Chain A
Amino acid sequence: MIWIDTIIQGILLGGLYALFASGLSLVFGIMRLVNLAHGDLIVMGAYLILVLVTLLGLSPFLAVFVAVPLMFALGWFLQKFLLNRTLGEDILPPLLVTFGLSIALQNALLEGFSADSQRLPTNALTTASVDAGPITLGVMPLLTFASAVLVIVGLNQLFYRTELGRAFRATSDDATTASLMGIKPANIFATATGIALVIVTIAALYLGLRANFDPNIGPARLIYAFEAVIIGGLGSLWGTLLGGIIIGVAQTVGAAINPEWQILAGHIAFLVVLLVRPRGLFPRAND
């Protein structure tokens, strides 16, 4: 029974990693931009929610609704006025600029909030659990997983059912031809990063409710997100969820064997998948 419990906890943890990864996957899928500041943006989102909770006295779940439009706007402007300038034939400029952004964000957060660990205030809901037969499931992990599924369903609907989604896919295929069709690629990219930061904000909520955070934990979240995206296959959102689940299960199984193995087991699972399927589990046909 303990093994089933371990695996289910791992699957639910995978939901958190999928939330970390979906924004990264979206941005990479549309503009081939690897955002190395993604993890730090998640941490920044958690601090933003914390500030809103403290200043406005809101519950974290309500504060997210205030944070989402702010983060969308941040993403839009960040892409439009900074990151769009780095896009081109050369893949190095976006890496360098987002790496710099990552360091700047970490230091700004350190300056503003100190290195002390923080946590979003919990309430009865965040510590509640439900009994499912012989195993007990936390409400928070269930909510996290449900949110990840909802985000991915929502993104798929956006991509395949809306005019904006068509423009995302067309611009991703060929930005020059898209501009001949009346699309402004710079604005499409800005909107995509805005949406990515909306997902980042949702990820930040669960990051801050489930565990402590401090300004330096961004890069490790980036690694988990990266691994989930690569395992799933670049550009496949359901693949990203599966990638998150594989890392989550590997971590909880590793931790069950020996607590020291938790993080390592996740990375080993990633390397094993890379060995067997170098392009991930669901690679896009036309990459």
Chain B
Amino acid sequence: MALLQTQNLTAHYGDFQALFGVDIELGEAETVAIIGANGAGKTTLMRSIAGVLRNDAGAVSFDGVSIGALTADEIMAQGVAMVPEGRKLFPSLTVEENLLIGTYGRKTAGHWTLDTVYDLFPILAERRHNPGTALSGGQQQMVAIGRALMSNPRVLLCDEISLGLAPVVIKDIYKAIPQIKAAGASMIVVEQDIAQAMAVADRVYCMMEGRVTLSGTPDSLSRDDIHNAYFGASH
């Protein structure tokens, strides 16, 4: 049985329908990438799963339990943490305080603590007392990932973690993903950088205009398949 699953998920922004019956699945210890162009609905899907955006039809289940009606903080408490698009660090908080926010109100036992996050991203230990927003984009992204890890989630949703970063920085951040997997989190990685997504994912979903247009393992998908699913060229 899938650890996290959406069935026929539908979501609107006002009158604009952003998701049309999306079905995805994430297995235990699996990493799934969701790729697609701007406006394909990837971020909307993440926000619907995380409970920030109310889904108006369909179901989301986590570990066999429906979480579609829960609020964002309740879903987080169940063990689904999100690295939001645009990093969204808290400007009033230092790097270390941003990380500690991930443990608010609960003591979760697990691999991830301040020490292990600093081992994962050593640069953050040096900058721990700086305001989070004084860091470079790549370092801010590391803080955002660390902040989500601090709750020791079973599922980590990473939304556009390479957006706006230099290729060399993206490589650094993606180097951390195997270690995050090894520590036991299942992941959904939303990405526009197809090569990066293919390299880390066990399975890939491609989205276009609010629908899943293609899915499969990275080896099973040809360049043309992906091109078509991404741009809708030959439809």
Residues of A bordering B, CB below 8 Å: 163, 166-167, 169-170, 172-174, 176-184, 286
Contacts and interface: CB of A to CB of B under 8 A. Distances in A.
Contact of A180 (B50, B92, B100): B50
Contacts of A179: 51-52, 71-73, 76
Nearest to A183: B104
A176 to B, nearest CB: 6
A176 B102 CA distance: 14
Given A180-B52, A182-B106, A286 B91 contact: yes
Contacts of B102: 181-182
Contacts of B82: 180
B52 A181 contact: no
Interface in B49-72: 50-52, 71-72
A181 B100 CA distance: 10
A180 B76 contact: yes
Nearest to A169: B92
A163 B92 contact: no
Contacts of A169: 90, 92-93, 97
B5 interface: no
B91 to A, nearest CB: 5
Nearest to A285: B91
A60 B51 CA distance: 48
A215 B49 CA distance: 51
Q: Chain A: interface secondary structure?
A: helix
B97 A174 contact: no
B84 A177 contact: yes
A181 B147 contact: yes
Count chain A CB atoms within 10 A of each CB in B51, B90, B151 and give the residue with the most. B90
B200 interface: no
Count chain B CB atoms within 10 A of each CB in A166, A183, A286 and give the residue with the most. A166
B47 to A, nearest CB: 9
Nearest to A185: B73
B77 interface: yes
